[in-house]
Amino acid sequence: MSDYKDYGYNYEGGTTCHTHLYPDLKTLLNSDKNTCILDIGCGNGYLTQQLLKDNFDAYGTDASEEGIMIAKRSFPNRFYIQDINSNELPKELADVRFNTIVSTEVIEHLYDPRNFIKFCYRILQKEKGEIILSTPYHGYFKNLLIAITNKFDHHVEPSWLGGHIKFWSYKSLKKILEEEGFNVTGFKGSGRVAGLWKSMIIKAKVC
């Protein structure tokens, strides 16, 4: 079995990024509109559990058996194993009508992010579907600071097994979402100060 400890899959509770992500992500949600949420790549289920505790109707999926096992301890009927590359929902969720997909700190790990976005588009309700993605923020001033402080190798860490293989800017993520049928409606930086955010959160709706 793969070692998922770097993703926080070997213990209960939130990872470092979730401590700043969830409060910011929650501001982009509306309990009247985002009535059935799927958290894809939920890890140990921390963020999905926060949604459930805040009275959102939410489910979580992840490829990690360890992560889902941990998540099921608190909400046994809300978490399922899913291989994103299969383009199929777990059979237990096949008939659930999702109008919102949340996916935090996942898209930067995917070899084929376009296929992932196509999958999200396909399973969302077409009349009011929304997607909320978070990924490490890459902007001009942050990248410049990384370069002039000689932190590039530390930042990208190519030896990290399962690490980041895609580095998104707001412009590049917006572009691929629009090419696959979404219209970006919201943006929020998360963590640190403006322009040097740890992550960015982008919200888009089905066109």
Measured CA to CA, the distance from residue 29 to residue 156 in angstroms comes to 31
What residues contact residue 142 under an 8 Å CB cut-off, 6+ apart?
195, 196, 197
Q: Tell me the domains of the chain and their CATH numbers.
A: 5-206 (3.40.50.150)
More confident call, 202 vs 192? 202
Tell me, what's the pLDDT at 143? 73
Q: Predicted confidence band at 89 (pLDDT cuts at 50, 70, 90)?
A: very high
What does the block give as tokens for 21? 């992500």
Average pLDDT for residues 93-97, to the nearest whole number?
95
Read off the pLDDT of residues 148-185 as tens digits, 9 standing for 90 and up.
888 777 767 777 767 788 989 999 999 999 999 999 99
Tell me, what's the pLDDT at 51? 97
Closest CA to 118 of 171, 61, 182: 182
What residues contact residue 45 under an 8 Å CB cut-off, 6+ apart?
60, 62, 67, 68, 70, 71, 72, 74, 75, 78, 79
